[in-house]
Chain A
Amino acid sequence: MQCTQIQINHHYVGLWFGHDFHPQFPSFAACSKELKECSGHVFVDSVPEFCLPETELIDLSTVDVILISNYHCMMALPYITEHTGFTGTVYATEPTLQIGRLLMEELVNFIERVPKAQSASFWKNKDVQRLLPSPLKDAVEVSTWRRCYSMQEVNSALSKIQLVGYSQKIELFGAVQVTPLSSGYALGSSNWVIQSHYEKVSYVSGSSLLTTHPQPMDQASLKNSDVLILTGLTQIPTANPDGMVGEFCSNLALTVRNGGNVLVPCYPSGVIYDLLECLYQYIDSAGLSNVPFYFISPVANSSLEFSQIFAEWLCHNKQTKVYLPEPPFPHAELIQTNKLKHYPSIHGDFSNDFRQPCVVFTGHPSLRFGDVVHFLELWGKSSLNTVIFTEPDFSYLEALAPYQPLAMKCIYCPIDTRLNFIQVSNLLKEVQPLHVVCPEQYTQPPPTQSHRMDLMIDCQPPAMSYHRAEVLALPFKRRYEKIEIMPELADSLVPIEIKPGISLATVSAVLHTKDNKHVLQPPPRPTQPTSGKKRKRVSDDIPDCKVLKPLLSGSIPVEQFVQTLEKHGFSDIKVEDTAKGHIVLLQEAETLIQIEEDSTHIICDSDEMLRVRLRDLVLKFLQKF
């Protein structure tokens, strides 16, 4: 699990979920004590527990907004909305909400069926854990692992979600605008653009450039980003999803032709739609038309139905089908022709309809709970059967470990359509962000393939990386903010063209700030002196020195200045040259004006009328700033 928090401008804190939150492996197996050995591996026997996102660093009650990237990234939401003092808003698209609900519902349902009543805790003692073999020894933050939430908590959490559509601009606190964009990875999956008028941060997580069922990734709207935060890349950068799908189909066909059964541990939504579509095109040519396909999940029916109603979130081909009107996914036809059947669980109708050989899609892909456990026990002893792993979230070897020894064939065809490093480099070329920020592991080759320099992000300037619990200052400097000039004030401005194409106007106005929106209003009219009834105090007249006068620029041509003086009734004017300029003498008025390139000094008696007249004549030659 990963989350990224961004703080902007003091008043806004956002939180994103990057990767999925996973059931942690040390769980499952049957023994009276907590620890159990199986084929040389040690396991913890417990109710499944879940590792939460980092909550120590962040006070979640201060988080204002959570933006959800896709339905795989919201599985920890109930822990946050229900138990941390979080009072903000959660934004997500409609498919993310609906399918996320299905995933949670399935999880809760599976966990409720796990017969264990107790959570194992003895092994979590640091002194005990230290002595355990890997991977138990290396498990992080085990003390914070939690039991699964209830359906009630799920409903409460989801009720806090505010639905948004792609390219919808959402104003937050008047300070920033956030916009979800299609990320191409799953139904309703989003990248998020967070921008003010002068800065733009893009959060790219779980994106795909492949053409599968979702709407293609919106790359154009990511352009001109100051910072692009990149995360949720493919977990298997060396596997080509197309090749994997081909392998999946051929292994499936081979097994069934030999009279064996195929088990596909999977989530109830997502890649399964693409697999069913491939099989729809494949089964007739492969002579599989009589083989039953079973999809078993408490949310199987809902998932298949929901997939058909999100036309707006689908790729172009599928959208056009809806206009005919035809269901966008061909699994509707598989169901109609009885080739695909779906059941809420292995109990009830399924036991009557069950025919072998067959293909079963069911969860949970961790193999620690759900109906998949039943099929592994049923089919594990025969080498005719095959289990095909398609979900990339779990190591299939670790997942299978407690079931060893296993005679069943195991095929690993991980299908992860998220960006690989070649696609990332193409994306960055296209989008050209000023800075890239990403998790540390993307800036170096994977530890197991340290020679593969191509398996890392390569960009200029080099990506800024962060690791768990690190706080990073994003590399941009804010220089401007938007302010609105009220029409009355705008009318009063007098622009002067200083250079070709550049005009200036001095502004003196009253600043009003409300809800982070700044407005400039015309200055108040000078108040009329109140009638003299009240005794006037001396201090009433004292001017406010905070009222700034504009700066001046320009120079004063002496000859013209003298002419102007004469025109305004001054006589007896004498001009003397000095080293740096001139002195203009008004002998009658005992006044002296020193004029230099960038300064003017008026020296006179305390005759305010005279001084003001001279001042205004000088100002005529200068520009105000």
Chain B
Amino acid sequence: MLDCGMHMGFNDDRRFPDFSYITQNGRLTDFLDCVIISHFHLDHCGALPYFSEMVGYDGPIYMTPPTQAICPILLEDYRKIAVDKKGEANFFTSQMIKDCMKKVVAVHLHQTVQVDDELEIKAYYAGHVLGAAMFQIKVGSESVVYTGDYNMTPDRHLGAAWIDRCRPNLLITESTYATTIRDSKRCRERDFLKKVHETVERGGKVLIPVFALGRAQELCILLETFWERMNLKAPIYFSTGLTEKANHYYKLFITWTNQKIRKTFVQRNMFEFKHIKAFDRAFADNPGPMVVFATPGMLHAGQSLQIFRKWAGNEKNMVIMPGYCVQGTVGHKILSGQRKLEMEGRQVLEVKMQVEYMSFSAHADAKGIMQLIGQAEPEHVLLVHGEAKKMEFLKQKIEQEFRVNCYMPANGETVTLPTSPSIPVGISLGLLKREMAQGLLPDAKKPRLLQGTLIMKDSNFRLVSSEQALKELGLAEHQLRFTCRVHLHDARKEQETVMRVYSHLKSILKDHCVQHLPDGSVTVESILIQAAAHSEDPGTKVLLVSWTYQDEELGSYLTSLLKKGLPQAPS
């Protein structure tokens, strides 16, 4: 099972996946060999404790070490908002998060993990957030690559996704930004800084809803350096105690960040901020300009939503949504232009503050997706994690450019892909070398046929020479021999007839070994030709052409050749 996320837009049963799709009935552990989590965002791991502890799954859960470290913190955070603040019942507990994490096995980049005798998985760097990975899942010669969320352009703290030319049968790729070709990173950054700066200058407040880990760190680095350069005084806050802890993670997992940060970390830790301070709830009512990073990122609950409600009424203020918002969240509603929001208790909130969307969330854009397909060279592509209309456009583009089949199944839909795997077998070195040596002969251009016997015992397949196969099985060879009588009108002596046969064959079969033996017979390779007088007709000689089944073609050819008669001897 790839990822185990939750839907931010729902507060009822629909927020978690319906796992009965997998089992119909019975235990999940019997149906799944393993679960792979691509990164720590809740839409990819939010249902994990529900899945493993409440529905029940005891198999391995694979994720990278940073995901393993950060995932339980976000789950706990999410649990607190859902249970403590909203008072939801039938939710997973802290203990369940802990028990669930005990089933996690860490996967390092490029390490090949043998899940069982057949199944192996391998992680590639995905760049989307700290520890995000793409996974190759392989059985025999057939493989699937699942990208999770990824980013093909390096940003201020992470590197770009990369995969080798692994030619999977199927590439399952996210398609969040299926139709967007984003302008250069620099432009977006400049735009972002300009908007923040203008708002602060006119005394407004800027709210930036983010997830505690990921985009937040990139934007913090950006604002920090800008504040430093412009010598700005307006305070920047970061909500909740997560910040410091988050920055610690970035420091300890610095090998997962980009080249530049890794190179300079000994001299300067990019994640220690001078201008960014911890946020207190009371600060929201302070007069004057400020910038606040608050969680969560889709304005669906928690502190970011609280601040939003306070500031929404003032047109001087601004909310900048730096990432994608799922349908049903407040974030999605205001981004789609809704300015009157129905809140809990039928309260209506009028949004006068400016709403800005900046695609900072680190997903690959259309160009990036195409780039990844080009890198991996899959046979089939399957689009997920996107909106149908946009996916349709991308699907056409992919099919045109790469001439591969592209699918975009709806939820619950099944796609069946044909594959034609080649069969790996062991070939005996003797047979292989014999064949390769022939390949070196001068007229090697003619395709040569390799002749061998495939011995199949259990799952052990070996290709050996026919002789070896007979020997191994303790069987005797059965020799099949043919002898054909060819009648020739020739009054001369047998020896002379033989001589004529010899010179005739010699002149035609230039590539073959034609010999005249002392006992009066002629051989062509291993085919024997003898002459005898006809018992009744002295003017006729009988040629006996004799060959084995293995020389079938040549033997048959020779009889038909001799049947045509011999050319007149040059006089």
Say whether B557 contacts A541, CB under 8 Å.
yes
Is B476 located at the chain interface by the 8 A CB criterion? Answer: yes
Say whether B439 contacts A604, CB under 8 Å.
no
Chain B, residue nearest A594 (CB): B481
Is A431 located at the chain interface by the 8 A CB criterion? Answer: no
- Say yes or no: A544-B446 contact (C-beta < 8 A), given A486-B422, A490-B422: yes
Query: Which residues in chain B, 51-75, are within 8 Å of chain A measured between CB atoms?
Result: 65, 68-69
What B residues does A309 contact at CB under 8 A? 251-255, 265
What B residues does A518 contact at CB under 8 A? 427, 432
- Say yes or no: A598-B478 contact (C-beta < 8 A), given A511-B436, A545-B554, A550-B466: yes
Query: Which residues in chain A, 510-559, are within 8 Å of chain B measured between CB atoms?
Result: 510-511, 513, 518-520, 523-524, 538-539, 541-556
Name which of A130-138, A165-173, A465-473 contacts chain B. Answer: A165-173
Say whether B525 contacts A545, CB under 8 Å.
yes
Is B483 located at the chain interface by the 8 A CB criterion? Answer: yes
Is A287 located at the chain interface by the 8 A CB criterion? Answer: no
Instruction: Report Cα–Cα, A481/B432, bound state, in Å.
Output: 8
Instruction: Report Cα–Cα, A599/B549, bound state, in Å.
Output: 11
Say whether B479 contacts A599, CB under 8 Å.
yes
Is B182 located at the chain interface by the 8 A CB criterion? Answer: no
Name which of A32-40, A223-231, A415-423, A491-499 contacts chain B. Answer: A491-499
What B residues does A167 contact at CB under 8 A? 108, 111-113
Name which of A109-117, A259-267, A435-443, A500-508 contacts chain B. Answer: A500-508
Say whether A301 contacts B266, CB under 8 Å.
yes
Chain B residues touching A, majority SS: mixed
What A residues does B187 contact at CB under 8 A? none
Instruction: Report Cα–Cα, A518/B463, bound state, in Å.
Output: 12
What A residues does B454 contact at CB under 8 A? 485, 493, 495, 504-507
B568 to chain A, nearest CB (A): 16
Say whether B423 contacts A549, CB under 8 Å.
no
Is A235 located at the chain interface by the 8 A CB criterion? Answer: no
Chain B, residue nearest A603 (CB): B483
Chain B, residue nearest A488 (CB): B420
Say whether A550 contacts B453, CB under 8 Å.
yes
Query: Which residues in chain A, 577-625, are within 8 Å of chain B measured between CB atoms?
Result: 597-606, 608, 611, 615, 618-619, 622, 625
Instruction: Report Cα–Cα, A486/B141, bound state, in Å.
Output: 12
Is B469 located at the chain interface by the 8 A CB criterion? Answer: yes
Is A461 located at the chain interface by the 8 A CB criterion? Answer: no
- Say yes or no: A169-B477 contact (C-beta < 8 A), given A511-B436, A542-B508, A604-B485: no
- Say yes or no: A490-B111 contact (C-beta < 8 A), given A506-B453, A548-B449, A604-B484: no
Is B163 located at the chain interface by the 8 A CB criterion? Answer: no
How many residues in B have their beta carbons less than 8 Å from beta carbons of A? 88
Name which of A53-61, A244-252, A321-329 contacts chain B. Answer: A321-329
Is A164 located at the chain interface by the 8 A CB criterion? Answer: yes
Is A195 located at the chain interface by the 8 A CB criterion? Answer: no
- Say yes or no: A551-B477 contact (C-beta < 8 A), given A480-B427, A484-B423: yes
Say whether B449 contacts A523, CB under 8 Å.
yes
Say whether B480 contacts A618, CB under 8 Å.
yes
Out of B458, B462, B559, which one reaches A480, CB within 8 Å?
B462
Complex A-B, nearest 5 residue pairs according to Cβ-Cβ distance, in ascending order: A543-B553, A487-B420, A480-B426, A548-B451, A551-B466
11 A-B pairs in the complex with CB atoms less than 8 angstroms apart? A166-B111, A197-B426, A311-B252, A504-B456, A504-B469, A511-B436, A518-B427, A603-B482, A603-B485, A604-B485, A611-B556
Chain B residues at the A interface, C-beta cutoff of 8 Å? 65, 68-69, 106, 108-113, 141, 245, 248-249, 251-255, 265-266, 420-429, 432, 435-436, 438-439, 446-458, 462-463, 466-467, 469-470, 473, 475-487, 508-512, 525, 545, 549-554, 556-557, 559-560, 562-563
Supplied contacts A198-B426, A327-B252, A606-B487, 8 more A-B pairs, CB within 8 Å: A312-B108, A325-B245, A482-B427, A484-B424, A510-B449, A539-B508, A551-B477, A619-B480
Chain A residues at the B interface, C-beta cutoff of 8 Å? 94, 164-169, 179, 197-198, 301-302, 305-306, 308-312, 319, 322-323, 325, 327-328, 478-488, 490, 493, 495, 498-499, 501-511, 513, 518-520, 523-524, 538-539, 541-556, 597-606, 608, 611, 615, 618-619, 622, 625
